[in-house]
Each structure stands twice: as structure tokens, then as C-alpha cells.
Amino acid sequence: MSSTTYDYTLTRVLDAPVENVWAAWTQPEHYARWSGAVLPSISLDVRPGGAWRATMATPDGSEFPLTGTYGEVVENERLEVIMDLPGGESTVMAVGLTADNGKTRIVLSQTCATAEARDMSEQGSGMLLDGLSAYVPTIS
């Protein structure tokens, strides 16, 4: 087994306060609006060890379930989303938030087992951040 890992990090500055960005990640009614997840499939028990699940819808209309748990949870600062993978494996996506004069700097990072998994995850995370960037300014 190889010990090589494949990492990526994406950074954005979002035009919304950190509390709104946190709410978008942690409240099902907000999460559904930007993530591609379908209500009522979303369950987010946002605490260390808490379970989450969501059924994601793709642009072609197909749906696929995602499940996992949370690792570190620091309100308005850090969220570790542990995603279940086939074969009993898992991967951790870390989301860091920093308040910046009414805006939020978000840093999303993940370590993957293969270059292909990294490339797919990075593309998916970029799409998530695009949706999040468009949605969070609308939260009032």
C-alpha cells in the first residue's frame, strides 16, 4: 500500500458574514439551497461524532446518497466533514472560516488517496464553493 497522498486546498472570500456562511453549512434549509442536496434527505447533526446524510442531485437528474460524520466542530471557525467512501474508507474535508470586515475567507482542504480522487474531489469542491458564493449573500 502506498503512503503517497494527494491534497488540494481551495480559498475564496465570500461576500457574507461568517455567521451566515456557518449557517449555510450547518442548517438543512440553507444547505439545500446551494449544495445540490435534496430536501428532505438532509440530516446534519453538527457536533463532533454527529452523523450527516444528504441525497445529492446532479444536473442530469440522477441522485446519489452521501453519508458521514463530523470531526472537529468549532462554531463559525472550523468544520471537519468526514465522508464515507465505498469499501469502508472515509475522507476528511476541512472547512476553515475567518471573518474579514463583514466578509468571510473560506479555506477548504482535503487529502485523497489517489490523484484521480483528488481531481474529482477538487472539481466537486469548486462547484460547491461556487454555489456557496452565490447563495450566502442572499441570507438575511
pLDDT of residue 60: 87
Check residue 113 and give its pLDDT. Answer: 87
* pLDDT given for residue 2 in this prediction: 52
How much is the pLDDT for 55? 94
Fold of the domain built from segment(s) 6-135? Alpha-D-Glucose-1,6-Bisphosphate; Chain A, domain 4 (3.30.530)
For β-strands 51-57 and 78-84, DSSP reports them as unpaired
Averaged confidence pLDDT in the chain: 94
Q: CA nearest 66: which of 31, 21, 29?
A: 31
pLDDT at residue 87, rounded to an integer: 84
Residue indicated by cell numbers 430536501: 39
Query: What's the average pLDDT block by block, 10 residues per block, for the chain (140 residues)?
Result: 82 97 97 93 97 91 93 98 89 96 97 91 94 96
Determine the Cα–Cα distance for residues 50 and 94; give it in Å rounded to an integer. Answer: 15
pLDDT for 89 equals 87
- H/E/C letters for each residue in 71-125? EEEECCCEEEEEEECHHHCEEEEEEEEEEECCEEEEEEEEEECCHHHHHHHHHHH
Whether residue 26 contacts residue 38, with contact meaning beta carbons closer than 8 Å, is answered with: no
